Structures are given as structure tokens and as C-alpha cells.
């Protein structure tokens, strides 16, 4: 069974995988040269899913939830991630992804729309 298709309730329905892949995302180039597609408008459910992922692997620290957020909100070179995948990414990529998933950096095109709203 593919670990990317698992949830706490068992296998993830194919429709949920398809929906996650087509949600509104923006793309960045990471320091390693890899491409990441990051969810543009995250919701509370994404935080809850990240928390559940961390708990499912016996992790209770904040960093584990952050890694879960990367796994929930980002695709890496077009592919979904698990917490274990994030563990294996280059450090500079992880730091960059953390900045975006925790919204300390914004989508490249959102800065222009924020300025026009003033």
C-alpha cells in the first residue's frame, strides 16, 4: 500500500488525492533547484491534518507539526510528501518551505495584490 495514500482512518479516497493535487497552488524554486507547489489558501483543516500526521508517527513537538504542514500544503517536484520525506529534504529547502507554509513569506504574486488593496 502506498504510504502517501494513508490517513488515520485508512486509505485516502482517490477523489481526495485528486482534489489535493488540483487545489489552488503557487510554485517556487527551492535553493536545491527543486520546484515546490504550495497551497495558496490553507484552512484550519490543514493544520488539523498536519497535527494528526505528526501524532500518527509518535511526534508531539512543534517541528513535527511544521513538517506535517509541509507535507499537507506542499508538493515537491509535483509529488506529495510525507513527514519522512521532509526529513530527507535538503536543509535549505526545508527552511524555505517552512517560511511559506507558516506564511512568513507570501505567494510571489500576493505581494502585488496586497499593495493594490491599500
Q: What whole-number distance in Å separates Cα of residue 111 and Cα of residue 107?
A: 7
The whole-number pLDDT of residue 102 equals 86
Q: What whole-number distance in Å separates Cα of residue 96 and Cα of residue 91?
A: 9
pLDDT digits over 86-98, tens only?
A: 999 999 999 999 9
pLDDT digits over 71-81, tens only?
A: 999 999 999 99
The residue ranges of every structural domain in the chain are 3-116
Asked if residue 35 has pLDDT above 90, the reply is yes
Angle subtended at Cα 36 by Cα 21 and Cα 9, rounded to the nearest 5 degrees: 40
Q: Global pTM?
A: 0.72
> Grid coordinates representing 66?
511544521
Q: What whole-number distance in Å separates Cα of residue 29 and Cα of residue 35?
A: 5
Amino acid at each position: 500500500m502506498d504510504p502517501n495514500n494513508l490517513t488515520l482512518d485508512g486509505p485516502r479516497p482517490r477523489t481526495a488525492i485528486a482534489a489535493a493535487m488540483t487545489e489552488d497552488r503557487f510554485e517556487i524554486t527551492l535553493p536545491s533547484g527543486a520546484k515546490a507547489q504550495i497551497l495558496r489558501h490553507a484552512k484550519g483543516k490543514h493544520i488539523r491534518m498536519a497535527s494528526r500526521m505528526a501524532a500518527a508517527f509518535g511526534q508531539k513537538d512543534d517541528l513535527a507539526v511544521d513538517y506535517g504542514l509541509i507535507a499537507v500544503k506542499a508538493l515537491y517536484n509535483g509529488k506529495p510528501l510525507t513527514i519522512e520525506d521532509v526529513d530527507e529534504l535538503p536543509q535549505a529547502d526545508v527552511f524555505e518551505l517552512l517560511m511559506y507554509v507558516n506564511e512568513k513569506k507570501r505567494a510571489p504574486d500576493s505581494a502585488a495584490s496586497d499593495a493594490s488593496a491599500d
